[in-house]
Chain A
Amino acid sequence: MKITLKVWRQKNSNTPGKLVEYQLDNISPDMSFLEMFDVLNGELTKKGEEIIAFDHDCREGICGSCSMYINGRAHGPQTGSTTCQLHMRSFNDGDTIIVEPWRARAFPVIKDLMVDRTAFDRVAQAGGYISVNTGSAPDANEIPVPREIADTAMDAAQCIACGACVAACKNASAMLYVAAKVSHFAVLPQGQAERTMRAERMVAQMDAEGFGACSFTGACSVECPKSISLDHIARLNREYLGAKLTSNNLQG
């Protein structure tokens, strides 16, 4: 396959970047999108040019590292997949492919296609946890959880914090991410102790990080590699309003 790539090159967060064009002539349709980048970086190395920086880790769709905005969509044209799960057969011979980093104030570009997603870590640290005793694992089924509840929690827990929701949202909103984290614990008995505090603190941190508000366009859910439902955003709204109306926290 012959491919023309237009890739965002940016030295660091303080330097403005630009799209740079690359020609690739020997691309196998069976390569993953990241392997295609490996080939390109190999060629750049041979030429003595600086390689393109991009995040990748597991290459099996579970780590959430491979953030690339490909041809106007987060993780490319496939739905329910990460960039590493995207193969070159999804494109046609002779295509021009535009690759950009996630664009959000809360995700500053570190270099080329790499962005700093520690904003998500800080949101998670604000309340995305439960307090449990350490020690030996509790007995299975010690705490009864109905099947339907367990499934809902699992659906939310599938979030890999890749940031595709933020990248796809016209407002760069992190609602689907925060909703998944809040939902995951809010429906389970283990999550009840911090339930109110969690919704209040995670939303406050989300706002402090500079993410946008939710316009309910649904783009996040479509582009989410784990297809996390908008139901969780409604639950986050419910959790937050409930928390604000009932908590003893008068300071906000």
Chain B
Amino acid sequence: MAWVTQTLSSSLGRKVIMSLTGLFLSSFLIVHVAGNLQLFKSDDGRAFNEYTYFMTHNPLIITISYLLYTSILVHALMSVVLTRHNQASRPVKYAYGRPEANSTWSSRNMGILGTVLFLFIVIHMRTFWYEMHFGSVPMAEYDGKQYKDLYAVVQEAFAQWWYVLLYVVSMVALGYHLVHGFQSGFQSLGIRHKKYTPIIEFLGTFVFAILIPALFAAMPIYVFLQVHGII
């Protein structure tokens, strides 16, 4: 198995790990944003609570969720390994540089954007995932069946303006992270072709970097406005 460890610890292999975990996390965003669209239903959170019940009880979803947690950790840890390696590759820095002349800001700052996203994920999971699994969540009853009322937790969290702001800023970071990360992930796998690269770039920019973060950011704003009776 020496070839496996050697391949995965090469500079290209490490990027493959970043790519596979990153693209898997990107695919999760589609599921997450689609499911959370239930928040926009005006049914006092019933659809959302039934959806969260499904997501926390379906064995397939539970299995994939562990893969997801692992991917987040591997993606983050590997980025630290790569960043340290890359920084060591230039021990003496340039006195003067004009990187903006040849590359985009997001492509050069994936580590900073990723750190913002990692902190966001920790806060996000503490607020919702931890409360759902280990906290005390009020119960709601639909058709005689008891459900954890995560919707109430959502309303409580998003009633605070600073918490909404944190989410919106984090989603901007997500957009910048994905505008480079999504298409870069395919590059690391060697997938670059006249026919498919324009499609990948379109999806990476308009779906993953704009549409999905915008929908996510709309959720706390919508709940905030609703809780405060503005809409």
Contacts and interface: CB of A to CB of B under 8 A. Distances in A.
Interface of A: 6, 8, 19, 69, 71-73, 77, 98, 100, 103-106, 168, 170-173, 203-204, 206-207, 210-219, 222-223, 230-231, 233-242, 244, 249-252
A100 B96 CA distance: 9
A204 B2 contact: no
A223 B86 contact: no
29 contacts: A6-B95, A19-B95, A77-B101, A98-B96, A103-B90, A106-B89, A170-B108, A171-B90, A204-B10, A206-B11, A207-B11, A210-B89, A212-B86, A212-B90, A215-B86, A215-B108, A216-B188, A222-B102, A222-B103, A230-B192, A234-B192, A236-B12, A237-B190, A240-B10, A241-B12, A242-B190, A244-B13, A250-B2, A252-B2
A123 to B, nearest CB: 13
A210 B11 CA distance: 10
Contact of B85 (A212, A231, A250): A212
Given A204-B10, A217-B99, A238-B190, 9 more contacts: A69-B94, A214-B12, A216-B184, A217-B104, A217-B107, A218-B103, A222-B103, A234-B187, A236-B190
Contacts of A172: 86, 89-90
A71 B88 CA distance: 23
A249 B5 CA distance: 13
Contacts of B90: 103-105, 170-172, 212
Contacts of B104: 217-218
Given A212-B90, A213-B11, A252 B102 contact: no
Nearest to B97: A72
Number of contact residues on B: which range applies?
A: 35 or more
CB-based closest 6 A-B pairs: A252-B6, A238-B190, A72-B98, A234-B192, A212-B89, A171-B86
Interface in B1-34: 2-3, 5-7, 10-16
B94 A235 contact: no
A148 B112 CA distance: 41
Contacts of A214: 11-12, 15, 188
B59 interface: no
Given A104-B90, A237-B187, A207 B10 contact: yes
Most buried by B among A8, A213, A239: A213
Contacts of B107: 215-218
Contacts of A217: 99, 102-104, 107-108
A250 B5 CA distance: 11
A75 B110 CA distance: 26
Contacts of A170: 86, 90, 99, 103, 108
Interface string B53-66: 00000000000000
B187 A230 contact: yes
Contact of A105 (B82, B89, B101, B184): B89
B99 A252 contact: no
A3 to B, nearest CB: 16
A73 B97 CA distance: 7
A13 to B, nearest CB: 11
B92 interface: yes
B73 interface: no
Contact of B102 (A19, A168, A251): A168
B189 to A, nearest CB: 7
A250 B4 CA distance: 9
B96 A71 contact: yes
Contacts of B98: 71-73
A173 B101 contact: no
A36 B94 CA distance: 22
Contacts of A106: 89
Interface string B172-200: 00000000100010011111100000000
